[in-house]
Amino acid sequence: MSPLDLDQFRARFDGKMSLAQRSVKRQRPPRHNPGEWFLKGPIPGSWLVRVFSLPTKTLGRALRVGLALWFLAGKAKCREVKPTWKTWQQFHLSPDAGRRGLQDLERAKLVKVKRRPGCCPVVTILDATPKQR
C-alpha cells in the first residue's frame, strides 16, 4: 500500500485551506524596487501583434524601440514623446539603431515621427487598429 494522505485531496468546507490548496494559491508578478525604472502598461495587444508581424530582420530592433517609446509615454503620461540618445542607451540601442527602429515602426504605421535637423525626433504613438465610425 502506498502512503497516500487522502485529506490532501478532500475539499474543506469550514473556510480553512488545506496545505495542498495553499500551495496552489496564485502569486503576484514581481514588482520593481523603489527608485527602479519600470514599464507602465497596458500596451495594447493589437499594437504588439503589429510589431511581431514585422520581418524577423527588423523585429528585435523595432520591439526595443517600441518598448523605449512606451516607457517614455508611461513616464510622461502622453502618447507624444521625445526619445534622446540616453533613451536609446537605456534600451541598449545605438542612435543609428534607434533611428532605423523608428523608421520600421513608422512603416508599420505604429508611430508618426516629426524630424528637424539637429533636434531629437518627436514621436507620436498611434493606435494599431483604425477606429470604427
The CATH number assigned to the domain holding 52 equals 1.10.10
Q: Exposure pattern of 85-109 as b/e (b: 16+ CB <10 Å)? A: eebbeebebeeebbbbbbbbbbebe
Residue 15, in any domain of the structure = no
In a domain, 9, yes or no: no
Average pLDDT for the chain: 85
In-domain check, residue 7: no
Provide the percentage of residues in the chain whose pLDDT is more than 70: 78
| pLDDT band, very low/low/confident/very high, at 119 (cuts 50, 70, 90) | very high
pLDDT at 91: 94
pLDDT at 2 over 80: no
Average pLDDT over residues 75-96: 95
List of long-range contacts for 14-18, beta carbons under 8 Å, 24+ apart: none
Q: Give me the pLDDT at residue 28, please.
A: 82
Question: 133 falls in which pLDDT band (50, 70, 90)?
Answer: very low
What pLDDT, on the 0 to 100 scale, is given for residue 11?
Answer: 56
Average pLDDT over residues 57-73: 95
Full residue range of the structural domain in which residue 85 is found: 45-125
Domain for residue 89, yes or no?
yes
Classify residue 8: in a domain, yes or no: no
Tell me if 33 is assigned to some domain: no
pLDDT class of 15 with cuts at 50, 70, 90: low
Q: Is residue 32 part of a domain?
A: no
- Asked if residue 106 is part of any domain, the answer here is yes
- Whether 71 shows a pLDDT value over 70: the answer reads yes
Hey, what's the cell of 111?
A: 508611430
Number of domains in the chain: 1
